[in-house]
Amino acid sequence: MYVADSRAGTPASAEGAVRPAGRRPAAVAPTVFALGTVSLVTDVSSEMVTAVLPLYLVAGLGLSPLGFGLLDGIHNGFSAVVRLVGGHLADRGGGRHKRVAGLGYGLSALCKPLLLVAHSLTPIGIVLAADRTGKGLRTAPRDALISLSSTPETRGRAFGVHRAMDTAGALLGPLVAFLILRATVDGYDAVFTVSFCVAVTGVLVLVLFVPGGHPAGTAPAAPPAERPTVRAALGLLRHRDLRRVAGCALLLGLATVSDSFVYLLLQRRLDVPDRWFPLLPLGTAAAFLLLAVALGRLADRVGRWAVFLAGHAALLLCYALLLASWHGAALPYLVLALHGAFYAATDGVLMAAASDGVPQGLRSSGLAVVQTGQALARFACSLLFGAVWTVWGDRAALAGATAALAGCAAFSLLLRPGSTSRAPGPPEGTAIP
């Protein structure tokens, strides 16, 4: 259905949605709102399951969830590959972003009812792996759609709006799940069913309200040299801008300690009572939600790279506070606010910055390369951090990460990959020499 739609050239598309006047700041494109809604709804669905999963395994099924995390390493590597494949598939055939993203959202939605019939660890592990595959598939095409639906001048804000909606869904999900558990007796089946219905709604919003294919009239602008082949995708790394963006994201990722370590350190250093421990990620998410749009707009105004680096400065401050001997009552709030600000200044902003350096025809592949590089670098950092913690203790590990982050940030500052793609950026298609 949507294929025919997209060929019909809906006016809701992308570059066309931006008001030509330009006197007022252009509104965020309807497609971005639609994608934000899809993400919000999908995150409600997936976080519902995530929130009750431990309880379901232990109290519902009587299983021991320990050792479940052992598979995480394999999942991480696998989802990196899936993300690259998703990015590449989406670029082939003249922009199948919507179809590949829809496949990813659909796969994750189908996993929810499967949880109703999986009653032991192995099948549940497989279902969760499939769920993650869906997430890996959809991420790059979705971000490509966001970047293709907004002008270079407003891209930071578009990603900011999307990330804020996404995070709002993640905060709502657990709330919905526990309301259902409260209203029922052992209502895990109800949680999974409702989660499925919510996920299907997300897929429907995508199918009905996100235009497919290339934005009308802009597809031919992509030069033939950038045909979306694997070789072309690899060739992207020859573009100086993208190489520098990817390189810096990778370097900084190598010094970005995984969230769970941050919360663990916070708890250890500040004696956060156990009952508050599950609330720590909510603090980060709340700050992310509140700051995402503002920092996205700021990135449009003062340059994406400046905001991206400032985000890492916030993270650096966050580490420094964890290392310092000051134990004030405001410290946990400050650390979580900085941690959330780090995400708000880097997550969507990096995609906006990377978009400037990737031609339209390879947008998904390019974003997937950057995302995957960053994810793998963070995973390597986690392994290294854990190893240093084992040998020299948590303070030494954090001090090492702090020094590494400072070094990587200084180096990124010298590279200045943003110097050629500062907003307002050059028109589409001319950024690549």
Partner 1 sequence: MTARARLLILLTAVAVLAAVALASVLHASARADRRDRARAGGPAVASGPVSLTGPGRMVFRNMAWGPHRDELTAVPAADPSGPRTASGVKCLRFHAAAGTGICLQAVHGPVSDTYRALVLDARLKERARYDVPGIPSRARVSPTGHFAAWTAFVGGDSYAGTDFSTRAAIVDTRTGRLIPTLESFRIVKDGHPHRAADVNFWGVTFADDDRTFYATMATGGSTYLVRGDLRTRTVTTLHTDVECPSLSPDGTRVAYKKRVRGLPEDAPWRLYVLDLRTMRETPLAETRSVDDQALWRDDHTVVYALPGDYGADLYTVPADGTGSSRRLLTAGLSPAFPG
Q: Which of 304, 409, 407 is nearest to 347 (CA)?
A: 304
Q: Compare residues 266 and 307 and give the one whose CB is closer to partner 1.
A: 266
Question: Which amino acid, residue 176?
Answer: V
Helices (H), 11-154: 14-17, 30-55, 72-91, 97-117, 121-148
Q: Compare residues 333 and 392 and give the one whose CB is closer to partner 1.
A: 392
Name the packing angle between helices 72-91 and 97-117 (round to 10°).
150
Cβ count near 63 (within 10 Å): 15
Phi, psi for 18 (deg, rounded to 5): -80, 130
CA geometry: angle at 126 spanning 123 and 129, to 5°?
A: 155
Q: Least Å distance between CB 60 and partner 1?
A: 10
Q: Compare residues 280 and 370 and give the one whose CB is closer to partner 1.
A: 280
Q: Compare residues 183 and 330 and give the one whose CB is closer to partner 1.
A: 183
Q: Which of 50, 45, 59, 43 is nearest to 187 (CA)?
A: 59
Q: How far is CA 153 from CA 94, 160, 228, 238, 418, in A?
A: 24, 13, 25, 25, 14
Cis peptide before 359 (omega within 30 of 0): no
Q: Least Å distance between CB 74 and partner 1?
A: 11
Q: Which of 234, 1, 28 is nearest to 99 (CA)?
A: 1
Asked whether the beta carbons of 215 and 13 are under 8 A apart, the reply is yes
Q: Compare residues 211 and 359 and give the one whose CB is closer to partner 1.
A: 211
Q: Least Å distance between CB 43 and partner 1?
A: 9
Q: Least Å distance between CB 389 and partner 1?
A: 4
Q: Compare residues 282 and 317 and give the one whose CB is closer to partner 1.
A: 282
Q: Least Å distance between CB 174 and partner 1?
A: 7
Q: Compare residues 102 and 156 and give the one whose CB is closer to partner 1.
A: 102
Q: Least Å distance between CB 73 and partner 1?
A: 10
Question: Which amino acid, residue 162?
Answer: H
Q: Least Å distance between CB 178 and partner 1?
A: 5
